[in-house]
C-alpha cells in the first residue's frame, strides 16, 4: 500500500475537535425550501399545528431557516463521544486497485451498533424529548436501521421507545428487531390491533404484510393519543439534516487539518439525511461564494426521485396524514419494487436538497442495483469494510468518477459518505452472489400514473 | 456523563504508535509450555513434521519459545492500519450506571468486518502463506468468525481461501457464509464429498450435520493433498497468541500514555487467542518482576477447561489427526452443550495460558450463560456497543469486580477485552429476551467419562 506524504490511512479528530454546533444550511440559502403546508388549510404549518406530533424544540429547529448555527447540548456531545468523531479514511487500497490518480476519501459512519449515521439524529431527538419531560417516543421502521438507532438513544436517556415495524420485516428480518429489543424498545408488527388505523387496515386487508405508510400512520396516531409521547422521524425533515451536519463538519475539519480541498463530494440519497448532513458545510461555502465543489446525489434507478421525479407539493407519507412538503417526488402512492437498499425507498426527497438541486447547486445520478453490489464487493475486498447497500450507491459513483480521472489523468480529490455497514443485509448479498439480483427501473407510464395523483396545490 | 480529568472517552493511538513488533511471552516464561508431540512417536514435533500442514515461517514462530520480539512486516502493519490502532475505551457510562468507584476500560476489537480480533492473526497467516508463494490456505469454521477474518485477509493478498464450515452452521447461519463469499472464499459445508474423511463420515453417518472436529480433518486433508496449500488455525497455537499480542501492546501503550496502571485484566477464554494477546505484555512484566497484575480468564460454565479440566496431553482436534498438546482440557471427545458463545466451545486451552495458569500466574472463573447475557444487555444499553456473547463473558466478570469495589470502596482499575460485536448472534439474544435460554453445566460424571479417554502419555 502506497501512502501519500503525511496523510494517514485514517484521519481521526480529537474528542476536543468534535463539533460544538450543528450547521443549518438553510440560513445561507437564497431560495429557502418551501414551507410545510397544513393538508387541511394548505397554509404553512405553524408551531402550534405541529405541537401534538413533534417535540417543541424540534419544531423550533424545523421551522427556523435563518439561524446558521445551533449549539449541540453537552449531553448529546457526550453521547457522540461513544462513536464520534468518526474516521475520515483515505481509500489507499481502493486507489491502488483502480490504478487511478484520483485521491479518494470516505467518511465512515458505520462504527456504531445502529450500523449507520442514523444515530446522529436519534440521540438529538431523544434528548429533546427527555428535556421536554416526555415519557417516550414513537416511530416507524422498515428494515430497522432507524428503529435501532432510536432504541439505542432512548435506552441512553431512559425513554420509552415504541417502534412500529413493517410486518414483513418484523417476520423476515428478526435480527434488527432483536437488536431493538436488546435496547429495551417495544417493537410492534404493523399493521397492528393497537391503533385505530391498524385495525381498519387489518379489517380491510386481512393478512396484509404492511407498509411503511401504514406504520407511520400507526406511530403518529399512538404519539398523538398517548399522554407524554411524541412522534420522531429519521430522515427528510430539515431538523434531521441539521443534526446530520455533524458528518460534514467533521469531514471538513479533518480535510482542513491536512490542507485537502475536495473536488467532488458524493452521497447516497434516500430521504436525504446522510447526503444533506455530509454536504451542508461545503454547500454553505458554495452558497456564500467562498469555494466551489461538485456535489453528486446518488439514488437507486428503482426509486429515482431527483432524476425522474416532479418538484411539487406532496404528502410525506403514503397514509397522507402528515403535512405536505414541496420536494422532488415520485408521488406518495409510488411503491418502489423490492430493492435491497431499504433506506433508499422513500418516494420523495428532503425539501432542502430538493431546492438545492432545483437551483442547480447539486447534481444527481441514478444507478442500477447490480452495479451497486459489484462496487460494494470490490470495495469490501480491498478496504475491508462490508458496506450497506445504501452506502454502496455512493461507492459506485465514487469509483466511476475515479475511473474518469484515470482516463483523463486528473488528480481529483473525491470524498464520499460511507453511511453504514451491511451486516444485516446479507440476504441481498446472497442474491447477488447467486446471480439472482434483478435490476428494476420504473417505466415512464408508471411514473406518469403516479404523478397524476399528486395533490393539487397552488 | 462524568469524566475523569484529562482521560478521554476513547484513547486512540496514532498510526505511528501502532506496534512494530509482536511480543512472544514464552520468552519470559521460566516454565516453558510443553512441546507439541507427534501422535505417532510421542516425540516433540519438528519443523519437518509440521511442514506439510503449516507455512514455514509460522512453524518457526510456533516452535520459538526464546525470541521475545518478532518484527511485524510492513504489509501486515499496513493492513492493520485499516482497523487499528483499536480504541481503548473508558467505560464512563457503565461506571456511572454501576455507581462504582472502579475505573473500567475496555479494548474494543470489534471495529472491523470480521467483527472480532481474529483478523489480527488471519492477516499475518495469510501474509506468510503469500510470501511462501502458496496458492491458498484451508481452514475450518464453526459459527464463522475466524472464517470471515481469514477470507478478508486472503482477499487482500489475492490468496485462495477454502473454508470448511460445519454443515449445521452453513445451513442455519447463512449470513456469515455470505460475508465469506463476499470476500471471495469458497465455503463448503462439512462433512462434504470433497475429502476422503468427509466421504467416510457421510457414509457412516448419513444426514449428519457435521462437527468442528470433522471440519478440521477435512481442511487439513485438503491442505496436505492440494499442491500449494497449507492449513491455518485461528486460536490455541502459540503463533496465534504471538500475533494477538498486538492487542495487549496497544492497550499498554494507551494506558502508559495517560499514566494508568491496571489492577485487574480480564478476558474471555476459548482457545486463548484473545486473552493471551491481551495479557501478554503485562504478563511479561509480571514474569520479569517489574509489575504485578491480577489476570482473570473467563470461560463458560458449559465448557470449563481451565476451572474443571485436566492439565494433560490431548489431541487438539476431535478427529485426533493433529499433534498432541499439553493443555488444560476437557478431553477431545468432550462435546459442550449447545451454548451461544460459539467461540468458547473448544475443549482445550492454549498451551501457553495453560502453563501460566498452572504456575498460579493467572486466575480463572466460569460463568453461566444467562448471567452473561444480562451483563451484555446492561453493557449495550449504556455503552452503545452490542457485544458478542464471547466478549460478554469478560463483561460479566468486569461488572462483578466493579461491584466488589463498590462494596469495599476501592478505586481499582479494571481493563477487559471486548473482542467483538454480536450482530450475527441475534438468535441467541432472541432466546435470552424470550426467556428461553438454558444454562447448562456438565456433571462431574460427564467430565470423568471424558477424562478417562485422554491419551496415555508419559
DSSP code per residue over A250-272: HHHHHHHHTT---SEEEEE-SSS
Is residue B341 predicted with pLDDT exceeding 70?
no
| Angle at A338 (CA atoms; ends A334, A341), nearest 5 degrees | 100
Nearest to A83 among B174, B384, B427 (CB): B384
Q: Beta strands B264-268 and B294-300: pairing type? A: parallel
Chain B residue numbers touching A182 (CB-CB < 8 A): 376-377, 380-381, 386, 429, 433
Is residue B318 predicted with pLDDT exceeding 70?
no
Q: Beta strands B10-11 and A413-418: pairing type? A: unpaired
Distance CA(A35)–CA(A44), nearest Å, equals 6
Among all residues of chain B, which has the CA nearest to that of A186?
Answer: B433
Nearest to A183 among B10, B178, B380 (CB): B380
Is residue A82 predicted with pLDDT exceeding 80?
yes
- A207 — contact with chain B (CB < 8 Å)? no
| CB-based contact A383 B82, cutoff 8 Å | yes
Is residue B331 predicted with pLDDT exceeding 80?
yes
Q: Which of residues 104-133 of B touch A (CB under 8 A)?
A: 111-113, 115
Q: What is the mean pLDDT of chain B?
A: 93
Residue B380 has φ and ψ, to the nearest 5°, of -60, -40
ipTM of the assembly? 0.90
Is residue A3 predicted with pLDDT exceeding 80?
no
What are the Cα distances from residue A354, in Å, to A9, A213, A268? Answer: 34, 21, 14
Q: What is the pLDDT of residues A379-407, one digit of tens each?
A: 999 999 999 999 999 999 999 999 999 99
Nearest to A12 among B12, B179, B182 (CB): B12
Is residue B143 predicted with pLDDT exceeding 90?
no
- B174 — contact with chain A (CB < 8 Å)? yes
Peptide bond between residue B191 and the one before it cis (omega within 30 degrees of 0): yes
Chain A residue numbers touching B382 (CB-CB < 8 A): 155-156
Is residue B458 predicted with pLDDT exceeding 70?
no
Share of residues in chain B with pLDDT > 70 (%): 98
Q: Beta strands A88-90 and A103-108: pairing type? A: antiparallel
- Please give the span between the terminal C-alpha atoms of chain A, in angstroms, as a whole number: 58
DSSP code per residue over B105-121: EEEE---STT-BTTHHH
| CB-based contact A178 B83, cutoff 8 Å | no
B286 CA: distance to closest CA in chain A (Å): 32
Share of residues in chain A with pLDDT > 90 (%): 81
A38 CA: distance to closest CA in chain B (Å): 38
Residue A216 C-alpha cell reads as 407511520
Nearest to B430 among A79, A174, A383 (CB): A174
In A145-208, alpha helices (H): 145-157, 167-172, 174-182, 196-204
B5: Cβ contacts below 8 Å, ≥ 6 apart: none
| B404 exposure class (CB count in 10 Å sphere: 0-12, 13-18, 19+) | middle
Among all residues of chain A, which has the CA nearest to that of B154?
Answer: A381
Among all residues of chain A, which has the CA nearest to that of B108?
Answer: A111
Cell match 448555527: residue? A69
| CB-based contact A175 B423, cutoff 8 Å | yes
CA B349 to chain centre: 10
Is residue B335 predicted with pLDDT exceeding 80?
no
- A178 — contact with chain B (CB < 8 Å)? yes
Using the 8-state DSSP alphabet, how is residue B428 labeled?
H
| Angle at A254 (CA atoms; ends A249, A255), nearest 5 degrees | 100
In 3D space, the residue among A351, A317, A350, A312 whose CA is nearest the CA of residue A333 turns out to be A317
| CB-based contact A179 B12, cutoff 8 Å | no
pLDDT value of residue A335: 75
Residue B240 has φ and ψ, to the nearest 5°, of -65, -45
Instruction: Let me know: does B339 contact B303? Beta carbons within 8 Å.
Output: yes
Q: Which of residues 67-106 of B touch A (CB under 8 A)?
A: 75, 78-79, 81-83, 93
Confidence of residue B329 (pLDDT cuts 50, 70, 90): very high
pLDDT value of residue A208: 82
Among all residues of chain B, which has the CA nearest to that of A182?
Answer: B377
Is residue B339 predicted with pLDDT exceeding 80?
no
Is residue A365 predicted with pLDDT exceeding 90?
yes
| Angle at B302 (CA atoms; ends B299, B303), nearest 5 degrees | 55
Is residue A307 predicted with pLDDT exceeding 90?
yes
Is residue A318 predicted with pLDDT exceeding 90?
no
What is the maximum span of chain A, computed from C-alpha positions, in angstroms? Answer: 66
Using the 8-state DSSP alphabet, how is residue B37 labeled?
B
- B186 — contact with chain A (CB < 8 Å)? no
Among all residues of chain B, which has the CA nearest to that of A425?
Answer: B175
Amino acid at each position: 500500500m502506497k501512502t501519500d506524504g503525511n496523510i494517514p490511512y485514517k484521519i481521526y479528530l480529537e474528542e476536543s475537535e468534535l463539533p460544538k454546533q450543528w450547521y443549518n444550511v438553510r440560513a445561507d440559502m437564497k431560495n429557502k425550501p418551501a414551507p410545510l403546508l397544513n393538508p387541511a388549510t394548505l397554509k404553512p404549518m405553524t408551531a402550534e399545528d405541529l405541537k401534538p406530533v413533534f417535540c417543541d424544540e424540534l419544531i423550533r429547529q424545523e421551522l427556523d431557516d435563518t439561524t446558521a448555527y445551533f449549539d449541540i447540548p453537552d449531553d448529546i456531545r457526550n453521547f457522540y463521544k461513544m462513536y464520534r468523531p468518526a474516521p475520515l479514511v483515505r481509500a489507499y487500497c481502493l486507489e491502488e486497485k483502480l490504478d487511478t490518480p484520483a485521491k479518494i476519501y470516505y467518511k465512515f459512519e458505520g462504527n456504531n451498533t445502529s450500523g449507520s449515521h442514523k444515530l446522529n439524529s436519534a440521540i438529538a431527538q431523544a434528548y429533546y424529548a427527555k428535556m421536554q419531560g416526555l415519557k417516550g417516543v414513537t416511530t416507524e421502521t422498515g428494515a430497522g436501521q432507524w428503529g435501532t438507532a432510536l432504541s439505542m438513544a432512548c435506552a441512553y436517556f431512559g425513554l420509552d421507545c415504541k417502534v412500529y415495524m413493517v410486518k414483513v420485516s418484523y417476520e423476515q428480518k428478526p435480527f434488527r428487531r432483536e437488536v431493538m429489543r436488546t435496547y429495551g424498545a417495544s417493537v410492534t408488527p404493523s399493521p397492528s390491533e393497537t391503533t385505530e388505523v391498524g385495525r381498519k387496515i387489518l379489517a380491510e386487508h386481512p393478512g396484509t404484510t404492511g407498509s411503511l405508510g401504514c406504520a407511520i400512520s400507526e406511530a403518529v396516531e399512538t404519539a398523538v393519543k398517548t399522554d407524554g409521547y411524541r412522534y420522531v422521524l429519521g430522515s427528510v425533515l430539515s431538523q434531521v439534516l441539521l443534526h446530520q451536519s455533524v458528518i460534514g463538519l467533521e469531514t471538513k475539519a479533518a480535510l482542513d487539518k491536512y490542507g485537502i480541498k475536495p473536488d467532488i463530494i458524493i452521497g447516497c440519497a434516500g430521504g436525504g439525511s446522510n447526503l444533506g448532513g455530509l454536504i451542508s458545510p461545503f454547500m454553505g461555502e458554495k452558497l456564500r461564494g467562498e469555494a466551489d465543489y461538485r456535489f453528486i446525489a446518488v439514488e437507486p434507478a428503482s426509486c429515482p426521485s431527483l432524476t425522474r421525479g416532479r418538484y411539487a407539493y406532496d404528502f410525506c407519507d403514503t397514509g397522507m396524514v402528515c403535512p405536505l412538503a414541496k420536494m422532488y417526488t415520485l408521488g406518495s402512492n409510488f411503491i418502489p419494487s423490492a430493492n435491497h437498499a431499504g433506506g433508499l425507498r422513500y418516494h420523495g426527497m428532503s425539501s432542502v436538497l430538493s431546492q438545492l438541486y432545483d437551483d442547480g447547486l447539486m447534481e444527481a445520478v441514478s444507478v442500477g442495483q447490480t452495479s451497486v453490489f459489484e462496487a460494494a464487493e470490490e470495495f469490501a475486498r480491498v478496504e475491508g469494510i462490508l458496506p450497506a447497500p445504501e452506502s454502496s450507491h455512493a461507492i459506485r459513483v465514487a469509483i466511476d468518477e475515479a475511473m474518469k480521472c484515470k482516463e483523463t489523468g486528473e488528480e481529483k480529490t473525491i470524498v464520499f459518505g460511507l453511511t453504514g455497514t451491511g451486516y444485516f443485509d446479507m440476504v441481498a448479498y446472497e442474491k447477488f452472489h447467486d446471480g439472482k439480483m434483478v435490476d428494476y427501473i420504473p417505466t415512464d407510464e408508471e411514473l406518469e400514473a403516479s404523478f397524476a395523483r399528486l395533490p393539487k396545490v397552488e
